[in-house]
Amino acid sequence: MSERYCVFGHPIGHSRSPRIHALFAEQCGQAMTYEAIEAPREDFAGAWHTFVAAGGLGANVTVPFKEEAYRVADVLSQRARRAGAVNTLVHGRDGRTYADTTDGVGLVRDLEAHGVTLDDARILVLGAGGAVRGVLDPLLAAGPRSLHIANRTAEKAVSLAADFHLQERGQQQACVKGSGYDALEDAYDVVINGTSASLSGELPPLPETLLAADGVAYDMMYAADPTVFLQWASARGVRTIDGLGMLVEQAAESFFLWRHVRPDTEPVRNMLRREL
Ligand code: ATR
């Protein structure tokens, strides 16, 4: 019998997760189904427990439920605890709900797949919302020289940087700093746009000297056409990468948590690119 998984969101109609997981399941010969479920805004916990009672084994969670999914969990991974939100739930054999966040791992894997070196890099992240909080831990674990978080509301960036600065990071000596856009420096190696400004076609105020000549601009968003941020960066001659690969990589990590099989992401990423 086919085993059940799903993605919860509200709205959920445009999610590409069912397509991605169907491709993974086919590639890996896994007998499973994966559907999109629009959970009621006021009762995410109820939707999860109903799904589990009907035989559901795991779920992805997207906007606006990532924080509520965190609260539903009985057991949180360390990276989920730091992120304060989760995108993956697993119904354990012991009946408990296990939760993890795979967005940050997805981002780092996609950067690696594109040959971007994070070790000793000067990284700038634009934005200080939930999406950014969720990727900081894996970014820091990749060993950058420095990580600067810049946000329209400067206090949010300062407070987010302070949260991560105080975390135990083993041998890691990265300097984590938060500020407004007025305190940006020159020549970052990797600039990651984690704001939702792309959705409204807007761009944070960025200086001409922001990127190093061999720097990389990455947008956690993706669309059929390059986002305004990536257009801005490519007009300045730097390499650009959108977030489609991050979407596929975070899905692959969730798939691994459920099925203990690691799909080959490249053909899936190529297929999705053709379908955009
Ligand atoms: P998400 O879950 O996508 O991170 P969020 O928590 O609402 O959503 O955060 C949105 C982020 O995009 C914030 O960093 C926000 O900046 P503020 O904290 O100052 O609101 C940023 N953002 C949204 N629209 C923006 C714009 N037009 N210019 C610059 N930053 C923008």
How many angstroms does the Cα of residue 253 sit away from the middle of ligand 1? 26
Place of tokens 């041998």: 171
Phi and psi for 21 in degrees, rounded to 5? -70, -30
Read off the pLDDT band of 2 (50, 70, 90).
confident
Q: Whose CA is nearest to atom 9 of ligand 1?
A: 129
How many angstroms does the Cα of residue 153 sit away from the middle of ligand 1? 9
Beta bridge partners of 44: none
How many angstroms does the Cα of residue 85 sit away from the middle of ligand 1? 17
Q: Which residue among 24, 51, 60, 66 is the active-site one?
A: 66
Q: Pick the closest to residue 51 from 64, 34, 65 (CA basis).
A: 34
Same-domain check for residues 24 and 73: yes
- Burial tier of 246 (Cβ tally within 10 Å: 0-12, 13-18, 19+): buried
Which ligand 1 atom minimizes the distance to the CA of 63? 2
Q: Pick the closest to residue 227 from 182, 193, 261 (CA basis).
A: 193
Write the CATH number for 90.
Answer: 3.40.50.10860
Residue 72 has pLDDT above 70, yes or no: yes
- As given in the structure block, the two tokens for residue 34 are 């994966």
Same-domain check for residues 110 and 220: yes
180 in contact with ligand 1, CB cutoff 6 A: no
Same-domain check for residues 136 and 237: yes
Same-domain check for residues 134 and 231: yes
Place of tokens 């019998």: 1
Question: How much is the pLDDT for 175?
Answer: 86
Same-domain check for residues 113 and 237: yes
As a whole number, mean pLDDT of residues 105-110 equals 98
**Extended strands (E) in the chain:** 3-9, 32-38, 56-61, 75-76, 88-91, 97-100, 122-126, 146-150, 175-179, 188-193, 211-219, 239-241
Same-domain check for residues 208 and 251: no
Please give the residue range of the domain that contains residue 115.
Answer: 104-242
As a whole number, mean pLDDT of residues 173-202 equals 93
151 in contact with ligand 1, CB cutoff 6 A: yes
Read off the pLDDT band of 199 (50, 70, 90).
confident
Cis upstream peptide for 204 (omega within 30°): no
Same-domain check for residues 96 and 108: no
Q: Whose CA is nearest to atom 12 of ligand 1?
A: 195
Q: Provide the number of structural domains found in the chain.
A: 2
Q: How far apart (Å, rounded) are the C-alpha atoms in residues 44 and 62?
A: 11
Question: How much is the pLDDT for 170?
Answer: 55
How many angstroms does the Cα of residue 82 sit away from the middle of ligand 1? 20
Q: How far apart (Å, rounded) are the C-alpha atoms in residues 178 and 169?
A: 18
129 in contact with ligand 1, CB cutoff 6 A: yes
As a whole number, mean pLDDT of residues 60-66 equals 97
Same-domain check for residues 108 and 237: yes
Q: Whose CA is nearest to atom 27 of ligand 1?
A: 197
- As given in the structure block, the two tokens for residue 77 are 């991974």
Assess whether 66 carries a catalytic annotation: yes
Read off the pLDDT band of 174 (50, 70, 90).
confident
Q: Whose CA is nearest to atom 7 of ligand 1?
A: 129
Question: How much is the pLDDT for 167?
Answer: 56
- As given in the structure block, the two tokens for residue 102 are 């795979």
Question: How much is the pLDDT for 193?
Answer: 98
Question: How much is the pLDDT for 173?
Answer: 62
CB-based burial, 58-82: b 16+ in 10 Å, e otherwise: bbbbbeebbebbbebbeebbebbeb
Question: How much is the pLDDT for 165?
Answer: 78
- Evaluate whether 249 touches 107 at the Cβ level (below 8 Å): yes
Write the CATH number for 178.
Answer: 3.40.50.720
What does pLDDT average to over the chain?
95
- Evaluate whether 62 touches 12 at the Cβ level (below 8 Å): yes
Same-domain check for residues 97 and 108: no
Residue 32 has pLDDT above 70, yes or no: yes
Which ligand 1 atom minimizes the distance to the CA of 153? 19
Read off the pLDDT band of 53 (50, 70, 90).
very high
Q: How far apart (Å, rounded) are the C-alpha atoms in residues 82 and 53?
A: 29
Same-domain check for residues 59 and 178: no
Q: How far apart (Å, rounded) are the C-alpha atoms in residues 45 and 99?
A: 13
Same-domain check for residues 146 and 16: no
Q: Pick the closest to residue 249 from 87, 34, 6, 14 (CA basis).
A: 87
Same-domain check for residues 160 and 256: no
Question: How much is the pLDDT for 96?
Answer: 98
- Evaluate whether 64 touches 85 at the Cβ level (below 8 Å): no
Read off the pLDDT band of 43 (50, 70, 90).
very high
